[in-house]
Structure 1
């Protein structure tokens, strides 16, 4: 784990800024780390460098696909308390960018496969490992992995990618850990909000210029958030976790189905993490205006990163934003967008297989479905499978969850060990 974290496989939207040497070094180190895996599994390169492995089983009837990605987001080194690519191993943790997102998942999957191979194990069903190299920039490796599997006639029985985790303190009244398994993900929309006006010298400003209009539009979006709704997967999460809640709240949650509007409003008031469960969210992430301190901007632009609630679409979201802004001088331009995924079942053999692996590795945890707010490579696999799930088999504190795409990311050694056990059980003990 430490050796792989030390290699800065940072993805950039512009391939010209990417360190190809680091990516090549990662593959070489990965090969050396897992010799049995590379000896016994067939490897195919997909896209710009993604890796697709096939571990042939006795049957191809119920193929399993295990996913991870090994590219990471950029860092601002000065914000970290230590070298973000140190890979430092302390008494309890491994530190560095990518430990949680998502080299940790890659490592525990490969450790599970490597140790099973060392024991002479041969799977009853085909197993595929799909490791992406460009997930952080919404690249093509996962898309081409899906195309490759489709060309082979593979319909995955179960797909698992990064996503939920084993968490505590995220649900009122629940004193047990919750293993949250993503059964769907929100849609993703990157939008430019732009307006233009006459520029000029800052010594002679006019009222109502481009910056003022853009600020007014952003203010309206902030003051008029999207309406809340408790989707079917969110309701299933509430009902599942509610069975284990103590105190008077348990009686309330037992009637969750008849209290959906009230529960949705309650989630919206509990904080940003729970509010994101019940509505489409809009985050203004970048602002651009004047090129100089003494120049009035002739053009002002904001970039909005939007996560689309199930039941809505890119088109319906853009239409509502226009209705809220109410300014014809404001242009809304879709940079990229994808609708929410379909919903995988939270009952049946596949979800039971995940629940069983959680019970072995985190015996106190309650396994429940949820909708993933972030985007992942898994969304592409809905095209070839009805059972696509998002779960990282790691216990994560709130501090750790905040460190994903943040600073001072780390994973515990205990979580890594449990992650290996999770995947060993999933491969060797599933139906």
Structure 2
């Protein structure tokens, strides 16, 4: 019997109150006190789990648990990350790490940094495992819980866990990390809630555009200062986005939802092999999520120049965040950015890059297990569909040891809840979170 929802919520709120903000990977003196406090809280709050599962600390603060099953082959890996992004407390309507409960019943909201990203999944996994262990359940196959500590800063925690598993010859039959969710209204015309399950994720690059000059006093600027050259380069990049195209998982997504789409879009989606070229030109006008599904995106996120208001910049720099659609590579994207910028006096430097992940299949036993748990726990009316994960996650490292890596957060999230990720007033509804626990219980029972 699963533990009561009130006690589950109490544990969730306590863990949300621990401010495990990502540690700067370049700071040798970063204080991991809150992560150690989090570790200690898990041992105290989940005694049955810690009595049965084997636990080890990896890369300083990441956690790897092994729940031995009757067979060590083809294990299940459930992933989440401990760290959260920083907050600007003044932007929040509630204390960011207060984990306040607002309202009552299933529609009550827990408001806290990490409520969805990603302690929502992490604690739901723990609740599911704790309850099953308490019931005396032994899984048919081994189960691993992999909780990285620095996902938000693209750190080494998950990579180190993968290396541990690789050295031990572990080859998971299914890996599940954060990703898509149960959504409504995200796909035009679709009349049922959809569980968008990431079968791949876009690659990520950071590119610096830099224009240089000698500097000097701002009262005597040169004819073409570095800031002007940089501004032109930024505008060229903005005005000439990467071309749109339809990749196989996105095509499959629209073919899947076609029978559940109203009006003329039903026929359009069902015939996407013919209509796809037109659709990918229209989608960018329908919102940023649809735009990101059909093209590699590049956006300037940081600008820097001179040290003072009356000083000419010796180096004006723009940081460009690039997200690569499957089929593009860091090499091809860099070449295109150089062509678009088209100025030999503007340097183009790739600071970091990882290519898109391999695509996992959206049929077969692993997919069927996910789909079955989705319908049984989240509602028979929910339609599982393949999806391209728009952001990067720790799961990309697990593609080295498994061909079945998926990205799905088992919560029904409104548009507002999705938009609050990495922003202020992050929150999750109680009923949605509790159903997520049942999803993990169902998935584990099938393992």
The interval holding the TM-score normalised by the smaller chain is: over 0.9
Partner of 1:11: 22
Partner of 1:89: 101
Find the partner of 1:225 among 218, 228, 241.
Answer: 241
CA distance in 1, matches of 2:92, 2:164: 39
Residues 187-212 of structure 1 deviation map (CA, whole Å, 9 limit, x = unaligned): 00011111101211111122211000
Q: Answer with 132-141 or 261-270: which moved more.
A: 261-270
Find the partner of 2:78 among 66, 72, 86.
Answer: 66
CA distance in 2, matches of 1:154, 1:396: 33
Partner of 1:389: 406
**Contact 1:354–1:426 at 8 Å: present in 2 too?**
yes
User: How far is 1:40 from its partner?
Assistant: 0.3
**Contact 1:179–1:358 at 8 Å: present in 2 too?**
yes
Alignment of 1:318-333 (within 5 A): 318-333=334-349
CA distance in 2, matches of 1:118, 1:334: 50
**Contact 1:10–1:18 at 8 Å: present in 2 too?**
no
Find the partner of 2:264 among 241, 248, 253.
Answer: 248
CA distance in 1, matches of 2:140, 2:185: 38
CA distance in 1, matches of 2:23, 2:307: 24
**Contact 2:204–2:392 at 8 Å: present in 1 too?**
yes
User: How far is 1:269 from its partner?
Assistant: 1.9
2:61 paired with 1:78: no
CA distance in 1, matches of 2:96, 2:67: 34
Find the partner of 1:43 among 42, 55, 64.
Answer: 55
Aligned-pair Cα RMSD in Å: 1.1
* Distance change in 2, residues 1:349/1:281 (3 Å): same
**Contact 2:198–2:389 at 8 Å: present in 1 too?**
yes
User: How far is 1:415 from its partner?
Assistant: 1.3
2:145 paired with 1:129: yes
- Normalised by the length of structure 2, the TM-score is 0.94
Find the partner of 2:307 among 291, 303, 309.
Answer: 291
CA distance in 2, matches of 1:416, 1:52: 23
Find the partner of 1:55 among 64, 67, 92.
Answer: 67
CA distance in 2, matches of 1:264, 1:105: 32
**Contact 1:344–1:388 at 8 Å: present in 2 too?**
yes
Find the partner of 1:181 among 197, 205, 212.
Answer: 197
Find the partner of 2:383 among 353, 362, 366.
Answer: 366
Residues 254-279 of structure 1 deviation map (CA, whole Å, 9 limit, x = unaligned): 11112221121121221111001001
**Contact 1:288–1:302 at 8 Å: present in 2 too?**
yes
* Distance change in 2, residues 1:326/1:69 (3 Å): same
Q: Answer with 171-180 or 381-390: which moved more.
A: 171-180
Alignment of 1:158-237 (within 5 A): 158-237=174-253
User: How far is 1:17 from its partner?
Assistant: 6.5
**Contact 1:99–1:410 at 8 Å: present in 2 too?**
yes
2:324 paired with 1:311: no
**Contact 2:58–2:161 at 8 Å: present in 1 too?**
yes
- Normalised by the length of structure 1, the TM-score is 0.98
SS of match in other structure, 2:66: strand
User: How far is 1:429 from its partner?
Assistant: 2.5
Find the partner of 1:33 among 42, 45, 66.
Answer: 45
Partner of 1:422: 439
Residues 353-382 of structure 1 deviation map (CA, whole Å, 9 limit, x = unaligned): 111011012222111001011010000000
- Mind listing any 5+ residue stretches in structure 2 that lack a counterpart? 1-11
**Contact 1:173–1:249 at 8 Å: present in 2 too?**
yes
Residues 98-154 of structure 1 deviation map (CA, whole Å, 9 limit, x = unaligned): 111000100110100000011111111110000111111111111111111111111
Partner of 2:290: 274
Q: Answer with 301-310 or 13-22: which moved more.
A: 13-22
Partner of 1:143: 159
Q: Answer with 272-281 or 16-25: which moved more.
A: 16-25
* Distance change in 2, residues 1:17/1:301 (3 Å): farther
CA distance in 2, matches of 1:181, 1:255: 22
CA distance in 2, matches of 1:268, 1:229: 11
User: How far is 1:16 from its partner?
Assistant: 4.6
**Contact 2:23–2:31 at 8 Å: present in 1 too?**
no
**Contact 2:80–2:119 at 8 Å: present in 1 too?**
yes
CA distance in 2, matches of 1:18, 1:78: 24
